[in-house]
Amino acid sequence: MSKMFKSINRAVKKLTEEAPQGNDQMIIKVKRLDSRFNRRGHQVVVDSGTVPTIEADNYDANGAYVLVHCKYFNQLGLLHRQTLDIKSLMVKKVLKEVIGDSYPGISFNTANIVLEYPLRCLWHYRDEIRFVAKEDKKSEKGRHLKLLLDFLDAEFAKLDADYNNYMEQGLTSFDIMWTLFKPGELIYTSFDGHARVFETKGYKEQSISCTIYGVIDGTYIDYNGDEFGYAQRYVLNPEFDGTRKITDLDAFPLKFHPREKEVRHDLISRGRKFESLAGIHCMDYNGPTISGAGHWGSKLFVNGRVMVDVKTHVHYHPEKVVAVSSLQGDKDKVKELTDSQNKPRYTTAGYHNGVYYEEVASQGANNVTMNVTLPTDGSGQDLKNKGKQNQKSKAVTVLTEEHLLLCSSLIYGFALNEKQWVQLFVDLLQPVRWNTVSFDQLVLPKSQKQLVKALVESHQTSTSNFDDFIAGKGKGLICCLHGSPGCGKTMTAESVAEFTKSPLYTISAGDLGADPAEMEKALSKILRLCTIWNAVLLLDEADVFLEERSLHDLGRNALVSIFLRMLEYYSGILFLTTNRVKTFDEAFQSRIHVALRYRDLDKSAREQVWRNFIEKIESSGTTTAIKEADYDFLGSVLLNGRQIKNAARTALSLADNMGEKLSLESVKSVLGIVEAFERDFKEMKKPEDIHS
Residue 118 backbone dihedrals phi, psi, to 5 degrees: -75, 150
Which pLDDT score is estimated for 25? 72
Model confidence pLDDT, tens digit, residues 444-467: 778 888 888 888 888 777 555 545
Whether 248 shows a pLDDT value over 60: the answer reads: yes
Mean of the per-residue pLDDT values of the chain: 79
**Range with the lowest mean pLDDT among 177-191, 206-220, 322-336, 535-549?**
322-336
Whether 348 shows a pLDDT value over 60: the answer reads: no
Which pLDDT score is estimated for 276? 93
Which pLDDT score is estimated for 299? 85
Cα gap 176→104, rounded to integer Å: 18
Average pLDDT over residues 111-131: 93
Residue 230 backbone dihedrals phi, psi, to 5 degrees: -80, 130
Q: Is 258 exposed, middle or buried (0-12, 13-18, 19+ CB in 10 A)?
A: exposed
Confidence of residue 508 (pLDDT cuts 50, 70, 90): confident
Which pLDDT score is estimated for 678? 64
Average pLDDT over residues 183-202: 95
Which pLDDT score is estimated for 357? 39
Average pLDDT over residues 98-125: 91
Whether 169 shows a pLDDT value over 60: the answer reads: yes
**Range with the lowest mean pLDDT among 32-36, 426-430, 654-658?**
654-658
Beta strands 369-376 and 281-290 are unpaired
Whether 184 shows a pLDDT value over 80: the answer reads: yes
Whether 554 shows a pLDDT value over 90: the answer reads: no
Which pLDDT score is estimated for 614? 86
Average pLDDT over residues 227-241: 94
Whether 178 shows a pLDDT value over 80: the answer reads: yes
- Which of the two residues, 5 and 351, has the higher pLDDT score? 5
Whether 583 shows a pLDDT value over 70: the answer reads: no
Which pLDDT score is estimated for 670? 79
Confidence of residue 343 (pLDDT cuts 50, 70, 90): very low
Whether 10 shows a pLDDT value over 60: the answer reads: no
Q: How far is CA 401 from CA 266, 464, 512, 602, in A?
A: 12, 45, 46, 61
DSSP 625-688: ---TTHHHHHHHS---HHHHHHHHHHHHHHHHHTT--B-HHHHHHHHHHHHHHHHHHHHHHHHH
* DSSP secondary structure code for residue 23 in this structure: G
Which pLDDT score is estimated for 345? 35
Model confidence pLDDT, tens digit, residues 589-625: 667 778 788 787 888 888 888 888 888 888 888 888 8
Confidence of residue 553 (pLDDT cuts 50, 70, 90): low
Whether 26 shows a pLDDT value over 70: the answer reads: yes
- Ramachandran quadrant class, 617 (left: phi over 0; alpha: psi -120 to 50; beta: rest): alpha
Which pLDDT score is estimated for 598? 78
Cα gap 531→569, rounded to integer Å: 11
Model confidence pLDDT, tens digit, residues 278-309: 999 999 999 999 986 555 567 899 999 999 99
Q: Is 342 exposed, middle or buried (0-12, 13-18, 19+ CB in 10 A)?
A: exposed
Residue 627 backbone dihedrals phi, psi, to 5 degrees: -100, 165
Average pLDDT over residues 545-554: 61
Q: Which residue spans within 344-384 are E strands per DSSP?
A: 345-352, 355-363, 369-376
Hey, how many other C-beta atoms are within 10 angstroms of the C-beta on 297?
A: 13
Q: Does domain 603-691 have CATH number 1.10.8?
A: yes
pTM, 2 dp: 0.76
Q: Does domain 446-461+471-598 have CATH number 3.20.20.140?
A: no
